[in-house]
Structure 1
Amino acid sequence: MTMRPSNPSVQPFPGGGPTVYTRRRAREPEPREAHAGIVQLLPVLVLVLLSMMSGFFISEPVFSLTPSSKYPVARETVNLKTYRYLDFVIVYKLPFIIPGLDVTDENGKIIGKSQLAPVKGISQVVTSRIVMCAPGMLLLPVIMERLEPKPWMQRIRWAHIGIQTAIVGMFLTFMVPTACAIFPQRCKISIDTIQRFEKDRYEEIVKNTDGKPPQYVYFNKGL
């Protein structure tokens, strides 16, 4: 007489003869690649690289007929009374670059203008903002790749977005003051640099300082 096992995970050996029972093994989790997070970032990095390269070969229009995130600033034409939507950089940054920024001496007295000042200031601001965002963008995928296989993380899948937001917030808490401290708020340019690249501005500074220009001129780079 053959007895059927009460445990469904125990199965009898097929065929005649004595009954042999086997126990099923629990399914082992599939191994995860250590660099899976970096591999997932590759398409994003390729898209960023292609978008940066396209800027060197394709010139974008300075205005658009319809508003968008790229062209948010509306300006009315004089003759046709129609609206053109301009780039934010053209409206708010370019007017500072073309005429130049006011530069001062050590005592804060305005002694002239320089087009190199806004170029240097904008480049430093862009660098600071990239440093500010870099840890959250680069380290967050690696951290989540290590945390997601944990059993407690599998039980709270609904909270993954909140956890990622909290991690980015912690990064920004430390990186915002760090990025702002990389470059001083009051930047300086050597008078020799202005003499080499902006001779007319250099002559104006010499005239305003009675022929005794300072070694460095200063300006506020902004945020």
Structure 2
Amino acid sequence: MSSAERKMQFLYALRSRGVTDKRVLTAMETVDRGMFVRGMFNERAYEDMPLPISCGQTISQPSIVGLMTQALNVKPRDKVLEVGTGSGYQAAILSHLARRVYTVDRHRRLVREAREIFEQLGLVNITTFTADGSRGLAEQAPFDRILLTAAAEDPPGPLLAQLRVGGIMVLPVGQSDAVQTLIKVTHTESGFEYEELREVRFVPLLEGLGNEE
């Protein structure tokens, strides 16, 4: 199959699963998922499935990435925090939609590998940090948008506190070994509004740093 055919099939799969936002689809067409999948799984990079990456983590399936990005409703002037850099794929897509992306992961190796890909792709509006993402990034707060790619039992308090009024946070919540719910949190003048989007399955949000170099 040619790369053009593969891309058409990839975009068709996204649309058929509910990713309809034109800006999101354009960003996902622009960012080559194959750059973020290494080794034996590389040939499966354009299938709509999660795949293993370093440090026991996964790269989410593209349709879930698309649906989460769509729910986040990123505007061109937005400052976005992503918790859980992983492969860097989600941050690369956000970089095409937002003014500035800050992405945090507890695994140094993942941050280092993602940073190398961002440099190769010339994505200069992404800043990467090795840090405990459950605490957010207070020194850069407040954020217009916050995205978590790991499941918490409840939306973490520090992250809610770092979300600007009018801002949106999208995250999976629930027990790590059960089906979780993807929720959208909107920070209104009077508090927080919660909307359930769909069932998902993500790795758990862990505190502290990974122990690898």
Quick check: which one's helix share is greater? 1
Name the TM tier (shorter chain).
Answer: under 0.3
Quick check: which one's strand share is greater? 2
TM-score (norm 2): 0.23
Larger Rg: 1
